[in-house]
Amino acid sequence: MKKAFTISALALALAACSQTSNNNTQASATNTLAPLDKLAVSPNDQRGYRTLKLENNIEVILVSDPTTEKSAAALNVGVGLLQDPMTQQGMAHYLEHLLFLGTDKYPETNQYKEFLTENGGVSNASTWLTYTNYMFKVNNDAYDEALDRFSDFFKSPKLYPEYTEKEINAVNAEWSMRREMDFFGQFKLSRDMMGEHPANRFLIGNLETLGDKENSNLHKETVEFYNKYYSANIMKVALISNASLDEMEKLAKKHFSPIKDKGIEKPQVKQEINFAELGGKKIYYKPNQDLKQLKLDFTIKNNQDQFKFKPNAFVSYLLGSEMPGTPAQQLKALGWISSLNAGGTPNHYGNYGEMSITLNLTDLGMQNRDEIVAIIMQYIDLVKEKGVDEKYYKEIKTSLDNEFRFLQKVDEFSYAAQLVNSMQDYPLNYSINAPYYFGQFNAKAVDDVLSQLTPDTLRIWYTSKNEKVDQKQHFYAGEYRIEDIAESEIATWKKPTQVALTLPKVNRLLPENFDLKTAGMKQSTAELKVEKDGVKVWHYPSQLFAEQPKGILKIDLNAGEANADIETQVSLALWSDLYNLQQSLLQAEASVAGISTRATTSNGMSLLLNGFTDKQNLLLSEMLSDLIPEVTETNFAQAKDRLIRGINNAQKQFTVRQLFPALQNLTEANNFEDDALIAAAQKLDVATFKARLEKLVKANQPRVFAFGNYNQGDLENVAEVISKTLGSNHTQTSFAKTKTIAPLPQQVLSYQKDTAAADNGLLDIHVHRKAGFKQKAIANVLAKHFSHEAFNQLRTEEQLAYAVGAFYYPVDDYASIGLYIQSPVMDLVQAQKRFDDFKVEYKAKLDALTPEQFAAIKQGVLVGLTQAPKNMYEEVSPIFSDWYKENWNYDSKQQMITEVQNVKLSDIKQFYNETLANPKASRINVQLRGANYQDKPFAEIKGQTKITDIAELSGKVSYQL
């Protein structure tokens, strides 16, 4: 859920009346709570900012960034799903879809998307309970014209009635994708319990809720909805560009001032909830996925206007703490839970919010659910009694201040969307810093939230496959049963439990030293800096963010050829689960201090640290001291249970989300089917697992990449700590890289598998016969045009599915291009035929592409490749990739840029002829047959090699060196 806070009318008036301009304004969080007189911006942000209010009362934030290659805009309308008429539930979402399909000035339905495609752009929109957000980004030189097209949606949209059926189908397809998702089912049931409150309605919309009915005409009511609510005075706009602030102000006035101000009040939900009907309930929920969860869900009053005092964050911080003596730590120690998360959103239901504690349970935890509830309720009482302490305010404030002080950029598209959402939620001058601004300790605000955490506002969710249920949901796949929480059970919450609870201790890892260790370092590429006792450490100081005292430390213990073994892969997966669980206290403490940590498996054991470098040495020492976790029969069985359920649950994700992992499994060596992984996990015992882990620690090739604020002493310390951890008996192995399939001419691999998800999924790529950056560059450019045409025809015009499109896919050194779809209405034979037909039809579209259109598309690709990274992770990502591939020149990105510069229109036509139009091209096809289509056949492709198990690839394919 998105963070959101309500604003007072007085604060809004004070913030909106002024026009301010600055290049680096920082209003630090102090104990004074006087309204800010200008926009608060991070000291780390060197962009220019200006706020203004147009004559039609639209509030605007302008961001001038001379370094950006892309310009972006977003407009947020303060109306959403809560304003849907009950006769047309989902209308706000439906209108969001319809609005993109032409305006008086630009009447063609695909003109907007076509213009963006030709100018390196993208667009999107989202609808939520209280707002609708529209956004786009585009090449800088096309910004003025893009704004003209974008702003026209809010002046004179066509809202074509002839597209009603198509867009209802699009909305229905979007709902169909989500109907088996447990989050949406539980969120719907949660609102179903709210009686007459406006939150109790179907939000997405589908064929049942949208359409003409007795006394209700969909198109007429949609037009009325637009005319009523799409008013300038409840709109917020953010513009980001390389243009000057003065130029951008002219653009804002030119394009957005003509939007009509209808003088409406911003829609507000005021209806009260009847807690006698809502609270004091136990909900037994049978999910689609195999979950074992417990959730304590308190409904609280909307307290957005208290954002300066962060009462929800304060309470969540204490309830979710992993420190010794807290419920999270104690319940993990008992082996009852694998995770506990607490969080609060002030406007989850409009004028009400939510404070919740969600726990993932083990089988032991499932047996002790009532006692876990008692422990949580007793801890809440402890927090009420002793937890409202200023020391926690200081700790949270320090963490938030540090984060805001060194706040990193995100891409323009996301940033514009974030800004307008924030402008709806906060006074204008707090739009950037509000999530980080903790003005002062306010015990009363915290106590007010805590006072609402009572049995009267509580709903306890018991979620598992074993729940006894008596009702089915209408729009979603969940089943449930609801009963009252008995007074006798509430009385047991006061009785002693198995644990002694204490409040959190003070954090040890908050950074104190922000020295810049790479100042004056003359190094423009990654270099091997330490080679000691078999440990190699590379370092690359940031070239763009050297003023940040942060770093990313990646430690790989590459297991060599052992990675090919299924038992090793399962052991590594179980290791990462157990290790992260046993390190969760340390990881949580580090997170508050601004350092994210995680253990992963990448051809062996891997650790990643990302954040402030001040305490990273201490953190790494503690992480490595317990590299092999403590293993018992109980926690080992629990880890296996989580692994097996995770594998099975993956088959219940959106089908489209399963397609690309299936493609990766098919194209990379040493992968295994889910059934084989489950069988290997079930067979593995504790003794074998321990022996395997010891072997993995003793025999590997340790490599470290340090990016950012590290000096030579830091690097040597990292090598020393790793060497000490591995021990004197350590054996150096060969370095194993992931091998990728080498495409063969005329080879058609068709992977065909049933999936537990309802819908079918199909993915079909054609791989070029030549390797190299030249072909990858050509494919990258072609894919931009191919993708646009596929979306316009298959999605907009034919409405075959909500998730359908085209894409470029690098098969390591080879280039491919293809199509994908998740369809609730087509079987696989039909979908494959439509794909094959469209590839032929596309030739006419490609032949009609003019040199000017091609040049614009190519420039869009180039801009995407050459634009400056927005943050440290963007900067280092291509370097990480080259490091892993042992490309010591670190020049893959530059090679791609050079080749894209050389791409000609004739090149993409030739690539098309040699792949999509070539029956002899190498082809990789993935078909996932949904649960609703088990009686329908898989599609057959001429000359296919049918694969139903990845193990069948052995001897049929070769791999790139």
User: Tokens for 329?
Assistant: 């730590």
- Please choose, from the candidates 423, 415, 455, the residue with its C-alpha nearest in 3D space to the C-alpha of residue 15: 423
| 627 and 696 belong to one structural domain | yes
Confidence of residue 30 (pLDDT cuts 50, 70, 90): very low
Q: Hey, which bits of 372-521 come out as E strands? A: 458-464, 471-472, 479-484
Return mean pLDDT, the chain: 93
Kindly tell me the number of DSSP H helices and DSSP E strands found in the chain: 31, 29
| 577 and 707 belong to one structural domain | yes
Q: Residue 332, by phi and psi: left (phi above 0), alpha (psi -120 to 50) or beta?
A: alpha
Is 861 within a domain? Answer: yes
| 714 and 778 belong to one structural domain | no
**Please, what's the b/e burial string for 226-249 (b: 16 or more CB within 10 A of its CB; e: otherwise)?**
beebbbbbbbbbbbbbbbebeebb
| 812 and 679 belong to one structural domain | no
Confidence of residue 6 (pLDDT cuts 50, 70, 90): very low
Residue 948, domain extent: 741-959
Confidence of residue 803 (pLDDT cuts 50, 70, 90): very high
Residue 436 above 50 pLDDT? Answer: yes
Pick the residue with more confidence: 2 or 816? 816
Q: How many residues appear in the chain?
A: 961
| 628 and 571 belong to one structural domain | yes
pLDDT of residue 754: 96
Confidence of residue 18 (pLDDT cuts 50, 70, 90): very low
What distance in Å separates the CA atoms of residue 421 and residue 426, rounded to the nearest whole number? 9
| 725 and 750 belong to one structural domain | no
pLDDT tens per residue, range 200-247: 999 999 999 999 999 999 999 999 999 999 999 999 999 999 999 999
| 845 and 922 belong to one structural domain | yes
Determine which helix (DSSP H) or strand (DSSP E) holds 295, and give its type and residue range: strand 292-301
- Please choose, from the candidates 620, 629, 588, the residue with its C-alpha nearest in 3D space to the C-alpha of residue 704: 620
Q: Residue 21, by phi and psi: left (phi above 0), alpha (psi -120 to 50) or beta?
A: beta
Is 651 within a domain? Answer: yes
Is 47 within a domain? Answer: no
Amino acid identity at 28: S
What angle in degrees, to the nearest 10, is found between the helix axes of 584-592 and 616-625?
170
Alpha carbon distances (Å) from 952 to 84, 665, 751, 796: 52, 12, 10, 39
Last residue of a domain, one of 700, 732, 764: 732
pLDDT tens per residue, range 38-77: 999 999 999 999 999 999 999 999 999 999 999 999 999 9
Is 95 within a domain? Answer: no
Last residue of a domain, one of 732, 754, 770: 732
Is 143 within a domain? Answer: no
Lowest mean pLDDT among 169-173, 205-209, 924-928: 169-173
User: Tokens for 61?
Assistant: 């934030």
| 531 and 562 belong to one structural domain | yes
CATH number at residue 537: 3.30.830.10
Tell me the pairing of strands 748-754 and 922-929. parallel
What distance in Å separates the CA atoms of residue 16 and residue 51, rounded to the nearest whole number? 8
pLDDT tens per residue, range 391-431: 999 999 999 999 999 999 999 999 999 999 999 999 999 99
Is 344 within a domain? Answer: no
Average pLDDT over residues 903-916: 98
User: Tokens for 831?
Assistant: 């979908």
Confidence of residue 35 (pLDDT cuts 50, 70, 90): confident
**pLDDT > 90: percent of the chain:** 92
Tell me the pairing of strands 731-732 and 699-708. parallel
| 724 and 679 belong to one structural domain | yes
| 612 and 585 belong to one structural domain | yes
Q: Which residue reads 């190519």 in tokens?
A: 858
Last residue of a domain, one of 680, 698, 732: 732
Is 812 within a domain? Answer: yes
pLDDT of residue 27: 35
| 800 and 938 belong to one structural domain | yes
| 760 and 822 belong to one structural domain | yes
With beta carbons less than 8 A apart as the criterion, state whether 919 and 942 touch.
yes
Confidence of residue 955 (pLDDT cuts 50, 70, 90): confident
Is 925 within a domain? Answer: yes
pLDDT of residue 245: 98
pLDDT of residue 796: 86
pLDDT tens per residue, range 853-903: 999 999 999 999 999 999 999 999 999 999 999 999 999 999 999 999 999
Q: On the CB side of 626, how many CA atoms lie within 13 Å of its CA? A: 17
pLDDT tens per residue, range 737-759: 999 999 999 999 999 999 999 99
User: Tokens for 379?
Assistant: 């801890």
pLDDT of residue 751: 97
- Neighbouring CB atoms inside 10 A of 560's CB total 18
pLDDT tens per residue, range 318-374: 999 999 999 999 999 999 999 999 999 999 999 999 999 999 999 999 999 999 999
DSSP, res 791: I
Domain count along the chain: 2
Residue 250 above 60 pLDDT? Answer: yes
pLDDT tens per residue, range 544-594: 999 999 999 999 999 998 889 999 999 999 999 999 999 999 999 999 999
Confidence of residue 192 (pLDDT cuts 50, 70, 90): very high
pLDDT of residue 319: 98
Amino acid identity at 842: Y
With beta carbons less than 8 A apart as the criterion, state whether 219 and 302 touch.
no
